[in-house]
Amino acid sequence: SSALILVGGFGTRLRPLTLTLPKPLVEFANRPMILHQIEALAAAGATDIVLAVNYRPDVMTAALKRYEQKYGVNITFSVETEPLGTAGPLKLAEKILGKDNSPFFVLNSDVICDFPFTELAEFHKSHGQEGTIVVTKVEEPSKYGVVVHKPSHPSRIDRFVEKPVEFVGNRINAGIYILNPSVLKRIDLRPTSIEQETFPAICKDGELHSFDLDGFWMDVGQPKDFLSGTCLYLGSLAKRSSKQLTPASLPYVHGGNVLIDPSAKIGKNCRIGPNVTIGPNVVIGDGVRLQRCVLLENSKVKDHAWVKSTIVGWNSSVGKWARLENVTVLGDDVTIGDEVYVNGGSILPHKTIKQNVDVPAIIM
C-alpha cells in the first residue's frame, strides 16, 4: 500500500532549528522526525511513501535515499509549485496513491505517537467506508481539528470542526488518516484544506469514521511542544522497558527517561534527567545538571552548567556555570559564554551570547 506525508513548508514555528535543517530531518529522540513515521509505515506494510513538499528537497533527497534501502520502501518527493494546503497534495500524488484500489495512509509530518497503522487499517476495512481518522483527547482542543459524534454511533463522525472558537468537544484529529482512493475524486488540484473542505464533505455523506488512539500523542511542530513530546516519548519507552533508554542505574542518571547516544561523553559528577536526550558526539563537562532538555549532535555543555527545558542545537556550546531555561532554543553553532543566563531565548545560528538574556526574546 502507499502513504503520503504532508511535509509542507519551512517549519517556521520550529525556528531556529529549521533555519539549518528541514523540519522532518530535525532529530526527535536522536532520530530524524520523519524516520519515526517511515519506520512505522514500513512496519505496517507501506511500500510507496510520498513526501509532499513545497520547496526544493535537495537536502532531504540525499538524506532519505539511505532509508529507502534500510526500510525497503520507495520514497518519492512530490513538489508543489505553490502550497496546495493539506488536501491539494493528495490530488497531486493521485498517480501513486490511486494506483491500485487499496486504501492509503496520510499523515501530518509533525505528529508523534505509537503509530497504530496496522490496527487502523484493520478497523478501516471493518467498517468499509471512505475514510478513518485517528483521534485523541486533549485539554486544549481549540488549536486542533475537533470531531463530534452522535451518541448513537461512537465511531461515525457527525461533524468535523477545524480550530473551533467555541467548545464542541475534546476528541481531536491526530493528523493520521487512512482513506479510500475514492476520496481523491472529491479533491481538486488547487490549494485546498482537507480539514476545511474534504472532511466536512465526507462527513455529510456519513462516510468518515474515527479511531481512538491509545497512549501518548503530540504535535511537535514548535519548541515547547517538541520538549513536551520528547518527555511523552521517553515516558512511553520507559513504560515498555525499552533497551534504547540509558539504564537508570547509572550514577549520573536521575529520575530515568534519559536517552544518550553511545558516542556522547559524560563528565564526572553530573546529574542528568529526567527527560533528556543526548545526541551523537555530544560532550558534557563535570558537574553538569541537565533536565527536560534535548542536546543535538556535536554540541557541548561545559562544567557546572545548568540546563533545563532547552534545546541545544547542533555544534553549539554552553559555557561553564551558564544557566539556560524556559524553552530556550539554540540554533546551529551557537556559543553561550561562561556564567551567562538565558531565559526563554531563541538564538539564531552562529551567534555568540556574552550577555544575559533575562526575558524571552529572539536573538539575531
Q: Which is nearer to ligand GDD, 139 or 241 (CB)?
A: 139
CA distance 84 to 328: 33
- In the complex, what is the shortest distance from the CB of residue 143 to ligand GDD, in angstroms, rounded to a whole number? 7
Of residues 221, 273, 319, 345, which one binds Mg ion by CB under 5 A? 221
Q: Tell me if 261 sits within 8 A of 243, measured CB to CB.
A: no
Please list the alpha-helical segments (H only) found in the chain: 33-43, 58-71, 88-92, 94-97, 117-127, 199-204, 223-239
Among 167-175, 283-291, 327-335, 351-359, which window interacts with ligand GDD (CB under 6 A)?
Answer: 167-175
CA distance 300 to 310: 13
Contacts of ligand GDD in 65-104 (CB under 6 A): 80, 83-86, 89
Q: Is 108 in the site for ligand GDD (CB under 6 A)?
A: yes
What phi and psi values does residue 50 have, to the nearest 5 degrees? -100, 130
Q: Which is nearer to ligand GDD, 94 or 339 (CB)?
A: 94
- In the complex, what is the shortest distance from the CB of residue 85 to ligand GDD, in angstroms, rounded to a whole number? 5
Contacts with ligand GDD by CB under 6 A: the residue count is: 25
Element (H, E) at 300: strand 300-301
- In the complex, what is the shortest distance from the CB of residue 149 to ligand GDD, in angstroms, rounded to a whole number? 16
Q: Has 163 been annotated as catalytic? A: yes
Q: Which is nearer to Mg ion, 133 or 260 (CB)?
A: 133
Among ligand GDD, Mg ion, none, partner that 111 touches (CB below 5 to 8 angstroms by kind): ligand GDD
Of residues 130, 207, 219, 297, which one binds Mg ion by CB under 5 A? 219
Q: With b meaning 16 or more CB within 10 Å and e meaning fewer, what string describes 135-155?
A: bbebeebeebbbbebeeeeeb
Element (H, E) at 134: strand 131-137
Contacts of ligand GDD in 218-247 (CB under 6 A): 219, 221
Q: Give the CA distances from residue 337 to residues 111, 319, 357, 359, in Å, rounded to whole numbers and listed in that order.
A: 34, 5, 12, 17
Q: Is 52 in the site for ligand GDD (CB under 6 A)?
A: yes
Q: Is 207 in the site for Mg ion (CB under 5 A)?
A: no
Give me 169's grid cell.
468537544
Binding mask 8-47 for ligand GDD (x = CB under 6 A): x---------------------------------------
Helices and strands (DSSP H and E) totals, the chain? 7, 29
What phi and psi values does residue 100 have, to the nearest 5 degrees? -130, -170
Q: Tell me if 23 sits within 8 A of 221, measured CB to CB.
A: yes
Among Mg ion, ligand GDD, none, partner that 192 touches (CB below 5 to 8 angstroms by kind): none
Q: Which is nearer to Mg ion, 181 or 191 (CB)?
A: 191
In DSSP terms, which residues pair with 294 in a beta bridge? 277, 311
- In the complex, what is the shortest distance from the CB of residue 110 to Mg ion, in angstroms, rounded to a whole number? 4
What phi and psi values does residue 215 have, to the nearest 5 degrees? 80, -160
Active-site hit among 65, 143, 163, 268: 163
Instruction: Name the site residues for ligand GDD (rule: CB under 6 A).
Output: 6-8, 52-54, 80, 83-86, 89, 108-111, 144-145, 162, 172-173, 175, 195, 219, 221
Residues in contact with Mg ion by CB under 5 A are: 110, 219, 221
- Active-site positions read 163
